């Protein structure tokens, strides 16, 4: 027996071929779809066990259920493990018959499952990884047109080199997206007909679709009684739509604005049915306008572009002199100090400031380390807080850590996402980096030596004969003088 064969033989002794059982991937959707783990066909053992290691790491591998099979009758007898220690809810699972295991549609049931024969001998027969998806919120109720909508999709474990992606009707949507912890978030600003449809959250492995779920986003026909908050960047050319839409026909409509600084509301736009929309704020130029020229009795939208920090406030739509709906606009400003181009290694301070409208707000600074987002700092500002900003001091600006975002959270979901990229370079000025200065000096010295050598070389070669002024001109005698210096003999210009 050759040594190679002996090694293979020994390996087979230690790792019998039957020990390799591939892991099958399956998925469930929280509160929607369950999954049944099958058992291999043609098994001959009499006693089996299902083992489970949850994704969320609540506990290590546990035995869920043992199944006994008798040769005489078909089917299997299940006996569930009851252990208070691990708080396993055997109500989360069900007997699928013949040894199969039904995993109910609960997010916490995600994890690795093993089907093992324990009698007459012990051997692993099948392995599964069950991924769980969750949609937040679970129900997608119809939303009033104009509102900002956040939807999140979470997976119990994100496999290596894969990612989650939101799509609308099968194509990438233009809405803001952000990722953190196994969660993909989509923030759709000012929803309208163009943002409704089939939103799918797909798990992709290197661009290949693996699995996912979808939900429909639909609109209400009226914005009656709506009260919501919109967040906009007040310094980075953002825009906002204020949508007032009624199913009933009204004779007149108006928008008023109650700014932070003033004690009363002012009228900013008004119209009578079939009449033109009049904008009545001074000094805003074309920033505030209406996308419709004539009010049809139902639809009364306003558009502010670009939004400035001072636009914050409460905007109320009245129809026929009754309050129809209102929108709170909170403006946000993100900045880097010091301004301008920084050098790698510098200190910097990022500041996220929100306009002081009375609302409790959770601000988070996230850092995007090339796709992996980490929470760096967070703070909940109370409604009465005088200082409505969250500053983050960075002691050393790093090339890998230039992308940041200030995120406004409401409960567990982000309502708004304001990215900012630190503009930093390796070197601030031409003489900023000592290494570069040395390299530049060495190069200059080398160049000087080379030029002197070249001149000497030319003088030695051409001194006895007529001085050639431009060696590149083909006189039928030479090629470039550099070649001469290498000691090669020039060929006469035959080419």
Using CB under 6 A, list all residues that contact ligand NAG: 44-45, 74-75, 97-98, 121, 123, 168-170, 180-181, 193-194, 196-198, 200, 214, 236, 334, 351, 375, 387, 389, 391, 419-421
Using CB positions, name the residue nearest to ligand NAG. 97
195: helix, coil or strand?
Answer: helix
CA 66 to chain CA centroid, Å, is 42
Q: Is the dihedral of CA 130, 135, 138, 141 positive or negative?
A: negative
Between 329 and 364, CB nearer to ligand NAG: 364
Tokens describing residue 114: 């093993």
Classify each residue of 300-338 as buried b or exposed e, where b means 16 or more C-beta atoms within 10 Å of its C-beta. bbbbbeebbeebbbbbbbbbeeeebbbbbbbbbbbbbee
Decide whether 95 or 433 has the Cβ nearer to ligand NAG: 95
Q: Minimum distance from CB of 157 to ligand NAG (Å)?
A: 13
Polymer length of the chain: 495
| Closest among 341, 336, 339, 337 to 425, alpha carbons compared | 341
| 292 in Cβ contact with 276 (< 8 Å) | no
Shortest Å distance, C-beta 196 to ligand NAG: 5
In the bound state with ligand NAG, the residue whose beta carbon lies nearer, of 19 and 469, is 19
Q: With respect to ligand NAG, which residue has the nearer C-beta, 40 or 75?
A: 75
CB 117 within 8 A of CB 45: yes
Nearer to ligand NAG, 45 or 144 (CB): 45
Closest to ligand NAG by CB, 87 or 171: 171
Tell the smallest beta-carbon distance from residue 69 to ligand NAG (Å): 10
CB of 462 to ligand NAG, least distance (A): 60
Closest distance to ligand NAG from the beta carbon of 318 (Å)? 31
CA-CA distances (angstroms) from residue 244 to 247, 297, 471? 10, 11, 80
CA 282 to chain centre: 40
Q: Which is nearer to ligand NAG, 167 or 253 (CB)?
A: 167
Distance CA 426, CA 429 (A): 10
> What is the CA 79 to chain-centroid distance, rounded?
44
Closest by CA to 149, choosing from 481, 410, 419, is: 410
Helix (H, G, I), strand (E, B) or coil at 9: helix
Cα separation of the two ends of the chain: 68
Q: How far is the CB of 317 from ligand NAG (least distance, A)?
A: 25
Least distance (Å) from ligand NAG to the CB of residue 105? Answer: 18
Closer residue to ligand NAG (CB): 117 or 250: 117
Q: How many CB atoms lie within 10 A of CB 344?
A: 17
Residue closer to ligand NAG, measured from CB, 98 or 221:
98
- Smaller CB separation from ligand NAG, 154 or 254: 154
In sequence order, the 6+-apart residues with CB closer than 8 A to the CB of 117 are 43, 45, 47, 48, 123, 124, 125
To the nearest whole angstrom, how small is the minimum distance from the Cβ of residue 93 to ligand NAG? 15
Residue 463 C-alpha from the chain's centroid: 72
**Phi, psi (rounded to 5 degrees) for 409:** -105, 140
Looking at beta carbons only, is 198 or 492 nearer to ligand NAG? 198
We find the least distance from the C-beta atom of residue 58 to ligand NAG, in angstroms, to be 13
**Pairing label, strands 288-289, 278-279:** unpaired
**At 233, phi and psi to the nearest 5?**
-70, 125
Closest distance between ligand NAG and the C-beta of residue 486, in Å?
A: 52
Q: Whole-number minimum distance, CB 81 to ligand NAG, in Å?
A: 21
Burial, 492: exposed, middle or buried (Cβ in 10 Å; 0-12, 13-18, 19+)? exposed
């Amino acid at each position: 027996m050759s040594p190679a064969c002996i090694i293979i033989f020994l390996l087979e002794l230690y790792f019998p071929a039957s020990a390799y059982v591939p892991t099958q991937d399956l998925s469930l959707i929280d509160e929607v779809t369950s999954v049944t783990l099958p058992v291999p066909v043609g098994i001959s053992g009499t006693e089996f066990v299902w083992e489970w290691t949850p994704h969320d790491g609540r506990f290590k591998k546990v035995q869920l259920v043992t199944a006994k099979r008798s040769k005489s009758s078909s089917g299997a007898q299940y006996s569930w493990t009851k252990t208070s220690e691990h708080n396993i809810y055997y109500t989360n699972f069900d007997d699928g018959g013949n040894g199969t295991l039904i995993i109910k549609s609960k997010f916490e049931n995600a994890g690795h499952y093993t089907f093992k024969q324990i009698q007459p001998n012990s051997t692993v027969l099948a392995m599964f990884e069950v991924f769980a998806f969750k949609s937040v919120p679970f129900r997608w109720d119809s939303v009033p047109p104009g509102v900002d909508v956040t939807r999140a999709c979470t997976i119990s474990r994100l496999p290596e080199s894969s990612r989650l992606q939101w799509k609308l009707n099968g194509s990438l949507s233009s809405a803001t997206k952000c990722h953190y912890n196994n969660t993909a978030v989509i923030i759709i600003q000012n929803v309208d007909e163009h943002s409704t449809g089939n939103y799918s959250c797909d798990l992709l492995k290197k661009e290949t679709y693996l699995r996912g779920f979808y939900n429909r986003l639909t609109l209400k026909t009226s914005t009656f009684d709506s009260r919501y908050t919109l967040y906009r960047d007040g310094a980075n050319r953002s825009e906002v739509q204020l949508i007032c839409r009624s199913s009933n026909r009204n004779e007149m409509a108006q928008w008023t604005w109650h700014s932070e600084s003033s004690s009363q509301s002012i009228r900013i736009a008004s119209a009578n049915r079939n009449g033109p929309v009049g904008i009545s704020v001074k000094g805003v130029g074309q920033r505030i306008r209406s996308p419709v020229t004539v009010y049809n009795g139902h639809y009364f939208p306003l558009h502010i572009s670009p939004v400035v920090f001072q636009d914050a406030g409460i905007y109320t739509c009245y129809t026929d002199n009754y309050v129809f709906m209102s929108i709170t606009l909170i403006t946000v400003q993100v900045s880097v100090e010091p301004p301008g181009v920084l050098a790698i290694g510098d200190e910097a301070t990022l500041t996220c400031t929100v306009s002081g409208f009375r609302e409790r707000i959770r601000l988070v600074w996230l850092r995007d380390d090339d796709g992996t987002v980490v929470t760096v700092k967070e703070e909940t500002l109370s409604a009465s807080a005088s200082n409505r900003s969250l500053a983050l001091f960075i002691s050393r600006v790093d090339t890998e850590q230039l992308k940041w975002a200030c995120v406004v959270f409401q409960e567990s979901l982000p309502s708004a996402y304001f990215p900012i990229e630190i503009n930093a370079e390796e070197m601030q000025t031409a003489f900023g980096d000592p290494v570069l200065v040395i390299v530049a000096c060495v190069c200059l010295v080398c160049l000087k030596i080379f030029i002197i050598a070249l001149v000497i070389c030319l003088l030695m070669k051409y001194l006895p004969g007529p001085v050639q002024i431009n060696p590149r001109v083909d006189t039928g005698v030479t090629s470039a003088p550099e070649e001469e210096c290498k000691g090669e003999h020039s060929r006469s210009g035959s080419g």
